[in-house]
Amino acid sequence: MIDIHPPQHGTMTRRDILTHLAIVVLGILIAIGLEQSVEYLHHRHLATEARRALVTERKQNEIANDFNIFTTQRHQRDLQHDLAVLHALRAHQPLPAGPFIVEHPRYVYLEDVWRKLHQSGTINYLTENLGPTDYRYQNQDGFMARVDRSTEDLYRAASVLRTEHDPLNTTFEKNQAHSNFTRRLAAAHENLLQQEVDAAWATLAEPANFSTLSPTQIDSLERALQSALADDDALLSYCYNVKRNLQNNPQE
């Protein structure tokens, strides 16, 4: 038989119940407060890391933007030379000296940090005004989208310069050499010797077998060059927007 012992304490009063309830509620509030404090500190840590990463990405994009300004201005001069060549060709006059170049080197803007901040939701932990930053990334995206579209159209139009007799001299070694040059140019903020820049640009020259071009092909290529010149004006506007944004928000 099981012995049942009466409780050792008396019946709980209303005051005892309220006391125990208050202790439980207080314990829950303390637990919630601790959890929120830990979460707050975690969010502050994420925000600090995000700001540091954005500063690093900003510095890289500032270099990329200066490079893109330089190469876009150079590309416009190349296109003007190319138009002069076509005009001389149509008029049966001596062709201007210099390589026929349509390629437009550019530096890719970084956006991994900015994109990941949005994907992860960390962007919500940054309390400062991010409007200028968002504006800069929009212009960088606008530049890349337009330069890719413009370059594709121009390359397709310039394909009429090629024949089955042109040497196939695009190699990994040449690609690597030009990539190394663009990195040096960007790191030097365009302060390389003009002879080195011209030599590197000369490697971008098209085969340019003008003798095979018909009047219709010359007209088509001329229109493509003119369109690319107009595109370059728009590209420079994007770059100048980025540059002005960087100058106006030095602490961003």
Q: CA-to-CA distance for 56 and 110, rounded, in angstroms?
A: 10
Q: How confident is the model at residue 11 (pLDDT cuts 50, 70, 90)?
A: low
pLDDT for res 35 = 64
Q: How confident is the model at residue 208 (pLDDT cuts 50, 70, 90)?
A: confident
Q: CA-to-CA distance for 102 and 79, rounded, in angstroms?
A: 7
Q: CA-to-CA distance for 71 and 250, rounded, in angstroms?
A: 24
Compute φ and ψ for 99, nearest 5 degrees: -70, 150
Average pLDDT, the chain: 85
Q: Which residue has the tokens 């994007």?
A: 238
CA quadruple 66, 72, 73, 78: dihedral sign:
positive
SS3 content of the chain, % helix, strand, coil (to 5): 75, 0, 25
Span 168-198, pLDDT tens digits: 767 788 778 878 888 887 777 667 788 888 8
Query: Looking at residues 232-243, what average pLDDT do you find?
Result: 97
pLDDT for res 197 = 85
The pTM for the full model equals 0.80
